[in-house]
Amino acid sequence: MRRSRWTWLAVGVALLMGVGWLPGFIEVAAQSSDALASLTIALWPEYDRPEVLVIYQGALKPETSLPATVSIAMPSHVHQMHAVAYLDENTGTLMRLDSFRLEATAQGKRLTLTTPARRFHAEYYTADVLTREGATRTIHYVFTATTTIENFRFEVQQPLGALDFVSDPVPVAIEKRADNLFYARYPAEALAAGASRSLRVAYQRHSDRVSSEAMPSTPEALAGPPGSGA
């Protein structure tokens, strides 16, 4: 099965980390984005660290003037971003964004980034949303929109060896991808500014070994992790 374009391209973040970031884009007055065309929040528990890798993949509306400034609510326990990038559609690669800040607010944290392109990518690690009780793992994640999102959805990567996977809401599909891991996809919907959505996940796992270490060492298996060390 073909991997999504974002999954293939996200490895560019890791490569750029290794060789040094390219120079920033030309400084131009940025316009605030009043709405997003789409935002997917992907949760990858126990992937290459014992925590949860949280990935934001967003797209601006076609009529948005560039560069554009986007603000996204983050949980209060997020202390730093692991990667922030934009998609260069001319080269098909992810490029680091230097124009971003993570600030505390009355509700938690807020990531504000300025992107010269319509697609952006951000990720961080957190242990606060994952609870372990023996072999039982539970995740509770809440997102609040700070702007209108025309197409919002969650996605969850199931750790290698996970059993009895259940969630609320119920996924619309669970698919196996080229990395031999299963991904749960959830209903897409429009969100108004200020609206919140929560996701609860539970599964059984009898190993603490992260998925990336237990996966076969093949090009397909290594092609996926965004920004985290493929």
- Mean per-residue pLDDT, 83-91: 93
- Alpha carbon separation from 223 to 89, 130, 172, 220 (Å, rounded): 19, 25, 25, 5
- On the question of pLDDT at 29 being above 70, the answer is no
Distance CA 36, CA 34 (A): 7
Position 36 confidence tier, pLDDT thresholds 50, 70, 90: very high
Distance CA 186, CA 169 (A): 7
Longest dimension (CA), the chain: 53
Q: What is the pLDDT of residue 88?
A: 92
Distance CA 163, CA 167 (A): 12
Position 215 confidence tier, pLDDT thresholds 50, 70, 90: confident
pLDDT digit string, tens, across residues 147-204: 999 999 999 999 999 999 999 999 999 999 999 999 999 999 999 999 999 999 999 9
**Which one has a higher pLDDT value, 6 or 187?**
187
Please name which of 52, 29, 101 lies closest in space to residue 201, comparing C-alpha atoms: 52
Q: Region of 164 please: left (phi>0), alpha (psi -120 to 50) or beta.
A: left
Q: Report the percentage of the chain scoring pLDDT > 90.
A: 72
Q: What is the pLDDT of residue 221?
A: 38
The answer to whether the beta carbons of residues 112 and 100 sit under 8 Å apart is yes
Phi, psi (degrees; rounded to nearest 5) at 73: -70, 140
The answer to whether the beta carbons of residues 9 and 225 sit under 8 Å apart is no
- The pTM of this model reads 0.81
Phi, psi (degrees; rounded to nearest 5) at 129: -95, -5
Q: What is the pLDDT of residue 62?
A: 93
Q: Region of 27 please: left (phi>0), alpha (psi -120 to 50) or beta.
A: beta
- Alpha carbon separation from 74 to 1, 80, 105, 124 (Å, rounded): 32, 11, 10, 10
Mean pLDDT score across all residues of the chain: 84
Q: What is the pLDDT of residue 27?
A: 40
Q: What is the pLDDT of residue 33?
A: 61
The residue assigned the tokens 């124009």 is 99
- On the question of pLDDT at 6 being above 70, the answer is no
Position 11 confidence tier, pLDDT thresholds 50, 70, 90: very low
Q: What is the pLDDT of residue 217?
A: 62
- Positive or negative CA dihedral for 124, 125, 126, 130? positive
